[in-house]
Amino acid sequence: MESNYKSGFVSIVGRPNVGKSTFLNRIVGQKIAIMSDKPQTTRNKIQGVVTTDDSQIVFIDTPGIHKPKHALGDFMNKMAKQTIPDVDVVLFMINANEKIGPGDRFIIDLLSRTKSPVFLVINKIDLVHPDELLPIIETYQSEFEFAEIVPISALQGNNVDRLFDVLKTYIPEGPQYYPDDQVTDHPERFIMAELIREKVLHFTHEEVPHSVAVTIEKIERDDNGKVHVMANIIVERSSQKGILIGKQGAMMKQIGTGARREIERLLGSKVYLELWVKVQKDWRNKQIHLREFGFKEDEY
């Protein structure tokens, strides 16, 4: 390995729904974070690893920082804030077609306490006219002194390579933390649960909001190499269970088919996916259920 090999950690922060997970998947080159047009899709910190010949950068995708309405929301905010002081660079991602608001200023206030360089990453530039970028940049520059300002489209990939190249100039020399082929520090079980949850959010739209969790109960590989995955989808109300199952099981079949395809892509194997829906009233406000469904503060 070269003596001037660079390695470091980069945190991605921003309000909900600015495209942090889309960016992470784009830069890592495969799907490790779930994407949804609903806010607060990402609940845990998800680490994506990008390794090149001369560097390794570990990206930390955080939950969108927002005003919490329940214990789960508190947990998500805590996770996001904890990543800010300990990284080499912070990427503050904003949405090009949304005006600056109290949420952005709240994050800027948090960022003012970090010693790490902060980049302003203006995402979704494909949704605005290029002439609109300068006023956005001027507005944010008047609020905070950013080390760099980089406009990108995570969805289309515009300027993402340039952002990576600029990042590398800020990353210190250091060892390679992960093997060349590792793209995330999360186990496959976690990613499978997230892929199922993504399909629930995608197909049920507003009917089953973020009061849904997924636990993987069993993963077994049979003699033919087929993987049997059994998972529970947890909701807060019986009415939500009815929506998830759908008329004659139609909704559950749709969710299952979509999730199975994603899991097969992840594992590179044929998958038999078995889904069960369970009701756990008000789980988002109960610490015992938050821990049971994977929201463990002591892991961070």
- Which residues participate in the annotated binding site for GTP? 14-21, 61-65, 123-126
Strands 212-221 and 227-235: antiparallel
Instruction: Give the strands of the sheet with 118-123, arranged side by side.
Output: 46-51, 55-61, 6-14, 89-95, 118-123, 148-151
Residues making up the annotated binding site are: 14-21, 61-65, 123-126
Question: Nearest Cα to 151, choosing from 204, 94, 192, 193?
Answer: 94
Q: Using CA of residue 241, residue 247, residue 249, residue 251, what is the dihedral sign?
A: negative
Question: Nearest Cα to 74, choosing from 63, 90, 59?
Answer: 63
